[in-house]
């Protein structure tokens, strides 16, 4: 999974193109802090949630080490655990963590419904 990623943060089109893979369910930024402006004022994605089957993997980009898998969750509580692991790993100061969890849960549910319609 990590080996296929470029040695830099992803652009939005690159993250979206990963959603076309048959082996990956969905790819999206882990938190609002996961998207940072670069020199061109375009957002780059530094933290990803990647769904595959019943599990969710959380990946982070580090300038020195490249992409790293922070966690791969179990089906019990995959989204919340992956988000919390990214927040903890990065030390993000997210004022309303509950809103982030709710947003990602709703996004994941909507994306899951779309995939079942195909």
Instruction: Give the list of residues 6+ apart from residue 12 with CB closer than 8 angstroms, or none.
Output: 43, 45
Instruction: Give the list of residues 6+ apart from residue 27 with CB closer than 8 angstroms, or none.
Output: 15, 16, 18, 19, 48, 49, 50, 51
pTM for this predicted structure: 0.76
64-85, pLDDT tens digit by residue? 999 999 999 876 666 778 888 9
**pLDDT value, residue 69:** 94
**pLDDT value, residue 104:** 65
Query: Once rounded to an integer, what is the mean pLDDT over residues 102-118?
Result: 58
25-66, pLDDT tens digit by residue? 788 888 888 888 877 667 899 999 888 877 889 999 999 999
CA angle 32, 51, 118 (to 5 degrees): 110
Name the domain count of the chain. Answer: 1
| Ramachandran angles phi, psi of 94, nearest 5° | -100, 115
Domain of residue 79, residue span: 2-117
């Amino acid at each position: 999974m990590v080996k296929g990623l470029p040695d830099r943060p992803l652009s939005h089109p690159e993250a979206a193109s990963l959603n076309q893979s048959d082996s990956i369910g969905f790819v999206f930024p882990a938190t609002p802090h996961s998207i940072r402006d670069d020199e061109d004022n375009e957002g780059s994605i530094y933290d990803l949630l990647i769904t595959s089957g019943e599990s969710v993997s959380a990946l982070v980009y580090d300038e020195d080490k490249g992409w790293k898998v922070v966690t791969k969750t179990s089906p019990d509580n995959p989204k919340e655990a992956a988000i919390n692991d990214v927040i903890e790993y990065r030390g993000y100061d997210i004022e309303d963590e509950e809103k982030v969890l709710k947003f990602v849960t709703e996004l994941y549910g909507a994306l899951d419904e779309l995939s079942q319609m195909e």
